[in-house]
Amino acid sequence: MVQPPRVERQTNNQANAFNSSDLTLKFLRYLPIYRPGISPLARGLEIGMAHGYWLVGPFATLGSLGLLRNSNAANLFGLLAAGSLILILTIAFSIYGTTSFERQQEIYPRVAAVATVPRVSQTLNSTERWSQFTDGFLIGGIGGVIFAYLLLNSVAIFTAIAINSI
Protein backbone atom coordinates (compact mmCIF):
# COMPACT_ATOMS: atom_id res chain seq x y z
CA MET A 1 0.00 0.00 0.00
CA VAL A 2 1.39 3.40 -0.91
CA GLN A 3 1.44 5.90 1.92
CA PRO A 4 2.56 9.49 2.04
CA PRO A 5 6.01 9.95 3.64
CA ARG A 6 6.29 10.89 7.29
CA VAL A 7 7.91 14.30 7.41
CA GLU A 8 9.22 15.98 10.52
CA ARG A 9 9.23 19.62 9.55
CA GLN A 10 11.24 20.91 12.52
CA THR A 11 14.37 18.93 11.58
CA ASN A 12 13.62 18.40 7.89
CA ASN A 13 13.95 14.64 8.38
CA GLN A 14 11.94 12.60 5.93
CA ALA A 15 11.45 8.90 6.59
CA ASN A 16 11.82 6.77 3.48
CA ALA A 17 12.18 3.09 2.66
CA PHE A 18 15.93 3.11 3.29
CA ASN A 19 16.43 5.18 6.43
CA SER A 20 13.46 3.80 8.33
CA SER A 21 13.63 0.12 7.32
CA ASP A 22 14.09 -2.53 9.99
CA LEU A 23 17.45 -3.62 8.57
CA THR A 24 18.88 -0.09 8.68
CA LEU A 25 17.57 0.59 12.16
CA LYS A 26 18.94 -2.74 13.43
CA PHE A 27 22.36 -1.99 11.93
CA LEU A 28 22.43 1.48 13.48
CA ARG A 29 21.25 0.18 16.86
CA TYR A 30 24.33 -2.06 17.15
CA LEU A 31 26.88 0.67 16.42
CA PRO A 32 28.91 1.51 19.54
CA ILE A 33 27.43 4.99 19.98
CA TYR A 34 23.87 3.61 20.18
CA ARG A 35 24.48 0.18 21.78
CA PRO A 36 22.98 -0.01 25.28
CA GLY A 37 24.95 -1.16 28.31
CA ILE A 38 28.42 0.13 27.39
CA SER A 39 30.39 2.62 29.45
CA PRO A 40 31.39 5.92 27.82
CA LEU A 41 35.08 4.94 27.94
CA ALA A 42 34.41 1.65 26.12
CA ARG A 43 32.33 3.47 23.51
CA GLY A 44 35.17 5.89 22.88
CA LEU A 45 37.77 3.11 22.72
CA GLU A 46 35.79 1.14 20.15
CA ILE A 47 35.00 4.13 17.95
CA GLY A 48 38.55 5.48 18.22
CA MET A 49 40.14 2.14 17.31
CA ALA A 50 38.00 1.83 14.20
CA HIS A 51 38.72 5.36 13.03
CA GLY A 52 42.43 5.23 13.81
CA TYR A 53 42.87 1.91 12.05
CA TRP A 54 41.25 3.03 8.79
CA LEU A 55 42.85 6.49 8.62
CA VAL A 56 46.48 5.40 8.19
CA GLY A 57 46.07 3.73 4.79
CA PRO A 58 44.74 6.73 2.85
CA PHE A 59 47.34 9.03 4.37
CA ALA A 60 50.16 6.59 3.61
CA THR A 61 49.14 5.83 0.03
CA LEU A 62 47.58 9.10 -1.13
CA GLY A 63 49.29 11.68 1.03
CA SER A 64 51.82 14.41 0.48
CA LEU A 65 50.99 15.21 -3.16
CA GLY A 66 52.87 12.25 -4.55
CA LEU A 67 56.25 13.21 -3.08
CA LEU A 68 56.32 10.43 -0.51
CA ARG A 69 53.94 7.87 -1.99
CA ASN A 70 56.57 5.38 -3.11
CA SER A 71 59.21 6.20 -0.55
CA ASN A 72 60.17 4.26 2.56
CA ALA A 73 58.82 7.02 4.80
CA ALA A 74 55.25 6.97 3.43
CA ASN A 75 53.98 4.72 6.24
CA LEU A 76 55.64 6.89 8.87
CA PHE A 77 54.04 10.04 7.47
CA GLY A 78 50.71 8.19 7.30
CA LEU A 79 51.13 7.37 11.00
CA LEU A 80 51.90 10.98 11.87
CA ALA A 81 49.09 12.42 9.75
CA ALA A 82 46.46 9.98 11.06
CA GLY A 83 47.63 10.53 14.65
CA SER A 84 47.38 14.28 14.14
CA LEU A 85 43.86 13.96 12.77
CA ILE A 86 42.83 11.81 15.75
CA LEU A 87 44.25 14.50 18.06
CA ILE A 88 42.35 17.24 16.21
CA LEU A 89 39.13 15.21 16.37
CA THR A 90 39.66 14.64 20.10
CA ILE A 91 40.04 18.38 20.67
CA ALA A 92 36.87 19.00 18.64
CA PHE A 93 34.98 16.36 20.67
CA SER A 94 36.19 17.98 23.88
CA ILE A 95 35.04 21.43 22.79
CA TYR A 96 31.68 20.02 21.70
CA GLY A 97 31.14 18.26 25.02
CA THR A 98 32.15 21.28 27.06
CA THR A 99 29.81 23.63 25.23
CA SER A 100 26.87 21.25 24.74
CA PHE A 101 26.56 19.68 28.18
CA GLU A 102 27.51 22.73 30.22
CA ARG A 103 23.89 23.83 30.41
CA GLN A 104 22.02 21.78 32.98
CA GLN A 105 18.54 22.63 31.76
CA GLU A 106 17.33 22.91 28.25
CA ILE A 107 15.51 26.07 27.36
CA TYR A 108 13.38 24.41 24.70
CA PRO A 109 11.92 20.91 24.86
CA ARG A 110 13.35 18.33 22.46
CA VAL A 111 11.45 17.73 19.27
CA ALA A 112 10.04 14.24 18.85
CA ALA A 113 12.20 12.37 16.34
CA VAL A 114 11.13 10.22 13.43
CA ALA A 115 12.28 6.61 13.81
CA THR A 116 15.17 6.98 11.35
CA VAL A 117 18.02 7.11 13.87
CA PRO A 118 18.17 5.47 17.30
CA ARG A 119 18.64 7.71 20.30
CA VAL A 120 22.14 8.15 21.68
CA SER A 121 22.50 6.53 25.07
CA GLN A 122 21.76 8.69 28.10
CA THR A 123 25.18 7.78 29.49
CA LEU A 124 26.78 10.51 27.34
CA ASN A 125 24.58 13.39 28.48
CA SER A 126 26.94 15.04 30.95
CA THR A 127 30.27 16.80 30.72
CA GLU A 128 32.06 14.16 32.80
CA ARG A 129 30.76 11.21 30.78
CA TRP A 130 31.47 12.95 27.48
CA SER A 131 35.00 13.58 28.74
CA GLN A 132 35.39 9.83 29.39
CA PHE A 133 34.14 9.14 25.86
CA THR A 134 36.66 11.63 24.46
CA ASP A 135 39.51 10.08 26.47
CA GLY A 136 38.58 6.64 25.18
CA PHE A 137 38.44 7.96 21.61
CA LEU A 138 41.96 9.40 21.91
CA ILE A 139 43.46 6.23 23.41
CA GLY A 140 41.64 3.93 20.98
CA GLY A 141 42.41 6.16 18.00
CA ILE A 142 46.13 6.35 18.70
CA GLY A 143 46.19 2.60 19.37
CA GLY A 144 44.41 1.92 16.08
CA VAL A 145 46.84 4.17 14.21
CA ILE A 146 49.87 2.40 15.70
CA PHE A 147 48.40 -1.05 15.00
CA ALA A 148 47.71 -0.16 11.35
CA TYR A 149 51.23 1.27 11.00
CA LEU A 150 52.75 -1.93 12.36
CA LEU A 151 50.66 -4.00 9.96
CA LEU A 152 51.68 -1.86 6.98
CA ASN A 153 55.34 -2.23 7.90
CA SER A 154 54.94 -6.00 8.27
CA VAL A 155 53.49 -6.66 4.81
CA ALA A 156 56.90 -7.72 3.46
CA ILE A 157 57.34 -10.17 6.33
CA PHE A 158 53.88 -11.66 5.77
CA THR A 159 54.48 -12.09 2.03
CA ALA A 160 57.86 -13.75 2.68
CA ILE A 161 56.21 -16.18 5.10
CA ALA A 162 53.43 -16.93 2.61
CA ILE A 163 55.87 -17.52 -0.26
CA ASN A 164 58.15 -19.77 1.79
CA SER A 165 55.27 -21.86 3.10
CA ILE A 166 54.10 -22.77 -0.41
The confidence score (pLDDT) of residue 67 equals 67
| 13 or 52, higher pLDDT | 52
Written out in words, the top-level CATH class of the domain with range 7-103+110-165 is: mainly alpha
Mean pLDDT of 118-147: 88
Q: Per-residue confidence at 74, pLDDT binned at 50, 70, 90?
A: confident
Above 90 in pLDDT, residue 164?
no
HSE-up of residue 155 (Cα within 13 Å, Cβ side):
6
CA distances from 43 to 101, 122, 124, 134 (A): 18, 13, 10, 9
Most confident of 13-27, 31-45, 77-91, 115-129: 77-91
Q: List the domain boundaries for the chain.
A: 7-103+110-165
How many CB atoms neighbour CB 91 within 10 A? Answer: 12
Q: Which tens digit of pLDDT belongs to each residue from 35-54?
A: 888 899 999 999 999 999 99
Q: Are 11 and 112 in contact (CB under 8 A)?
A: no
What is the maximal distance between C-alpha atoms in the chain? Answer: 68
| 121 or 5, higher pLDDT | 121
CA 121 to CA 16: how far, in whole Å? 24
Average pLDDT value for the chain: 81
Above 90 in pLDDT, residue 132?
yes
Q: Is the pTM of this model over 0.85?
A: no
Above 60 in pLDDT, residue 93?
yes
Handedness of CA 4, 6, 11, 16 (dihedral sign): negative
The confidence score (pLDDT) of residue 105 equals 47
The confidence score (pLDDT) of residue 33 equals 86
The confidence score (pLDDT) of residue 13 equals 64
